[in-house]
Structure 1
Amino acid sequence: MTSEKEAPRKPVLFRAADHAKVKEETQSHPLNPHSLIRGISLSAQVGLQRLGFHLLRIAPGKESFIYHSHQLEEEFLYILSGRGIAELGEESVEVGPGDFMGFPTPSVAHHMRNPFQEDLVYISGGERREMEVADFPRIGKLLVRVGSQVTIYDKVEGKTISFE
């Protein structure tokens, strides 16, 4: 039984047959007009709170979010089907089924795009910390997230200080 204070727990098993019953979400990054990702959060279906695990797809001609790096949260991608171009640092490489990318922190800047004719389908996952700092080096901006509050700063307006 569940006490009045506890919410009922989500099931620990989310079957493949149930994927079609979950409404696919669409998300794009506000700083990238070519960004468009569709998919479902598998971690949300089973109640995971500290780990994000998502089944995602990028349509032909679209991109993931924006070229970025992480300071605090580790991230990974595993390609299931289709092909894409992964920007890893200053290198662009074609990726396909079975390819795995991991981004320990501080991470190399990265981004995915799909210039091919079929959907790029992949698993994306990572940590969900209370705070994250992400760098968007190509556009000179820095994202700071504390809880659900996200603030984006222009790096040219920032000042480096020393506590010596």
Structure 2
Amino acid sequence: MFVSAFLSVIGLGFLVWVLFTLAVYALPAFVGVSIGMYVYDTEAGVIAALVAGMFGAVFTYLVGQIIFAKVQSVPIRLAIGALFAAPAGVASFSAIKGLSQIGGASEGWTLAFAIIGGIVTAGTAWVRIASLAGPIGDDDAQHTGPMQASPFAKDR
């Protein structure tokens, strides 16, 4: 009995870790699956659907990161961060609600766990997408080397 409970806790911990790690990929996965299903519905074949879906997912992730890193406007950064965080929050809400129901928690606690988990996971996804971009205005800063910063640089 103790081993079963211990392994259940380890398994749930692993699932939560995977959920947090993969949260930032919820939007690209959604886009990739949607593109793949569309291509498959056009009777292009399974291979074409897989390739198109993977390309769409990678393209969405890379474009989101590049735009977030290069755009200096705070509202645009907030919008892009929200685009990546919202699907992660919804996916986390659903996953944690399902796991809580399996665990036998009451409906109130299940909903509370799911809401808190969705908010935390959405925040984690936003921080992960934002971690690749520097602070606003960092591209405009003048980077001086040690020779340029020295008051004696002209003497040498």
Please state which band the TM-score falls in when normalised by the shorter chain.
Answer: under 0.3
- Per the normalisation by structure 1, the TM-score is 0.21
When Rg is computed on C-alpha atoms for both structures, the one with the higher figure is: 2
Structure with greater helix share of residues:
2
> Comparing both chains, which one has the higher relative contact order based on Cα–Cα distances under 8 Å and sequence gaps of 6 or more?
2
Structure with greater strand share of residues:
1
